């Protein structure tokens, strides 16, 4: 049973470009979360999605950031017009329907904006 799969593992973008981060949840998991870990800061919740629905986006920056979890395919976290402050590790987590509060994390995507 594969774990939460994220790609790419490392992503370098120039300021102003777009970054797309992908996440496939564990098999049988229907809840997907995105977290961000900035240098010297803890993990911060960004958004919670189920298939085709954004359930809670209270942690998402108001501009440039968006997330989706389509009916088919992985969840996507999209960052438009990246700035240096977006450099961080972005983790995706998933949880099963029977225990939705138990989140299992993927390996993360380390975004570097140059």
Partner 1 sequence: QKEVEQNSGPLSVPEGAIASLNCTYSDRGSQSFFWYRQYSGKSPELIMFIYSNGDKEDGRFTAQLNKASQYVSLLIRDSQPSDSATYLCAVNRGAGGTSYGKLTFGQGTILTVHP
The site for partner 1 (CB under 8 A) is made up of 31, 33, 35, 41-45, 48, 55-56, 91, 93, 95, 98-108
- In this complex, which beta carbon is closest to partner 1, that of residue 19 or of residue 94? 94
Q: Give me the least distance between CB of 5 and partner 1, in Å please.
A: 11
The Cα-based distances of 74 to 30, 40, 82, 114 in angstroms read 11, 29, 21, 27
Q: Give me the least distance between CB of 108 and partner 1, in Å please.
A: 5
Cα–Cα distance for residue pair 90/63, rounded to 1 Å: 17
Q: Look at residue 20 and give its three-state secondary structure.
A: strand
Q: Give me the least distance between CB of 36 and partner 1, in Å please.
A: 11
- In this complex, which beta carbon is closest to partner 1, that of residue 52 or of residue 56? 56
- In this complex, which beta carbon is closest to partner 1, that of residue 75 or of residue 95? 95
Cα–Cα distance for residue pair 89/106, rounded to 1 Å: 11
- In this complex, which beta carbon is closest to partner 1, that of residue 13 or of residue 36? 36
Q: Give me the least distance between CB of 81 and partner 1, in Å please.
A: 27
Sign, CA torsion 82/8/87/50: positive
- Cross-strand partners of 6: 23
């Amino acid at each position: 049973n594969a774990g939460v799969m994220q790609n790419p593992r490392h992503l370098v973008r120039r300021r102003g470009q777009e970054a797309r981060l992908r996440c496939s949840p564990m098999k049988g998991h229907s809840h997907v979360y995105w977290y961000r870990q900035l240098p010297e800061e803890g993990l911060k919740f960004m958004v919670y999605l189920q298939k085709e629905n954004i359930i809670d986006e209270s942690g998402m920056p108001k501009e440039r950031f968006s997330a989706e979890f389509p009916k088919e395919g992985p969840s996507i976290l999209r960052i438009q017009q990246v700035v240096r402050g977006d450099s961080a590790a972005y983790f995706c987590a998933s949880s099963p329907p029977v225990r939705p509060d138990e989140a299992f994390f993927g390996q993360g995507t380390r975004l570097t904006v140059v």
